[in-house]
């Protein structure tokens, strides 16, 4: 806690609260709303309903332990470890659905990734990935054709799945049949090695970002597995990290890193230069308690605020 307080003091940058924005280098991030209980939050006159017009018919939709998330223009998926399922919000059809995974998996869901008209789910108790259609029906289980200890983060970049094997300190690239294309890592702290990686993200420009969590950094690779650069590093000053988790990139190439320890999201340029952050420790709008993941779709940012049992939504805008 002392480290968190000192960290925020040294940063001395305005923290986002309700109806406030952060300004730095023409980039603005504004708090929009928080979503805790889709059934009630989606009903009028709630702001979420006004924004998206969503309708829920699920009798028990409340978030318990939201973790990995993914988003498109029309869809938001939330892996909920406590509920042992995935919350799926469809902005196009204006409906909410809960995919109950209890009968299909061992362990709990950790992360999700959209694949065209299906959804990939990683779990804490399995060495494979589960694929569901958007109605919640199990399509298949995909087993990597290489020994896996435990999958955490996943992402999809056509035609490949990328996944972190956290206790093995590796990242795999494989196709939808489970054939492994290449492997990155091995435990270490030098360039290209990893120490308990958690989440990852493949950008539209074809760069693979890996949160190398216990090395307190993000490493960037090309899609052949070649190391390119490192962002962050341990510390309590601007641009350093303590427990990086979820990661995403906006339409301008800016990198967003969730820090599970500092309870904020740090923003870097595409070259790795620190730009700003938003968030602080707490339960008020715009604050976080052990956030886990982030997804960006268009100008909307979704953050899984895990211990506050909610998803917070922010909006990106740019100055002239």
Given a cut of 60, whether residue 243 has pLDDT beyond it is yes
Q: What is the edge-to-edge ordering of all strands in the sheet holding 129-133?
A: 109-115, 118-123, 129-133, 138-142
**126: confidence class by pLDDT, cuts 50, 70, 90:** confident
Mean pLDDT, rounded, of the chain: 86
**60: confidence class by pLDDT, cuts 50, 70, 90:** very low
Given a cut of 60, whether residue 55 has pLDDT beyond it is no
Of the listed ranges 55-59, 128-132, 287-291, the one predicted with least confidence: 55-59
For 15-50, what is each residue's pLDDT tens digit? 333 334 444 457 899 999 998 876 555 444 454 554
Predicted local distance difference test score (pLDDT) of residue 40: 54
Predicted local distance difference test score (pLDDT) of residue 54: 53
For 92-113, what is each residue's pLDDT tens digit? 887 889 999 988 887 899 999 9
């Amino acid at each position: 806690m002392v480290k968190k307080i000192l960290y925020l003091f040294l940063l001395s940058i305005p923290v986002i609260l309700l109806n406030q924005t952060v300004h730095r280098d023409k980039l603005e991030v504004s708090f929009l709303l928080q979503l805790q209980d889709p059934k009630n939050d989606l009903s009028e006159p709630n702001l979420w309903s006004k924004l998206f017009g969503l309708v829920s018919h699920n009798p028990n939709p409340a978030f318990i332990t939201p973790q990995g998330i993914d988003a498109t223009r029309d869809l938001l998926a939330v892996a909920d470890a406590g509920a042992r399922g995935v919350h799926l919000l469809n902005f196009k059809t204006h409906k909410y659905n809960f995919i109950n995974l209890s009968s299909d998996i061992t362990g709990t869901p950790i992360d999700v990734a959209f694949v065209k008209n299906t959804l990939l789910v990683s779990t804490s108790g399995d060495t494979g990935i589960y694929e569901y259609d958007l109605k919640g029906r199990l399509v298949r289980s995909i087993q990597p054709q290489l020994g896996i200890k435990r999958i955490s983060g996943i992402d999809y970049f056509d035609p490949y799945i990328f996944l972190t094997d956290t206790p093995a300190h590796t990242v795999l690239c494989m196709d939808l049949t489970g054939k492994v294309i290449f492997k990155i890592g091995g435990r270490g702290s030098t360039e290209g090695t990893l120490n308990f990686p958690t989440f990852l993200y493949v950008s539209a420009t074809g760069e693979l970002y890996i949160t190398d969590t216990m090395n307190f950094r993000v490493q960037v690779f090309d899609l052949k597995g070649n190391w390119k650069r490192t962002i962050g590093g341990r510390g309590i000053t601007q641009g350093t990290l303590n427990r990086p988790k979820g990661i995403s990139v906006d339409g301008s190439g800016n990198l967003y890193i969730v820090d599970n320890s500092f309870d904020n999201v740090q923003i870097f340029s595409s070259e790795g230069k620190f730009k700003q952050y938003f968030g602080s420790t707490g339960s008020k709008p715009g604050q976080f308690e052990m956030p886990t993941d982030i997804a960006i779709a268009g100008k909307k940012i979704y953050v899984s605020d895990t211990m506050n049992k909610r998803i917070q939504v922010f909006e990106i805008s740019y100055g002239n």
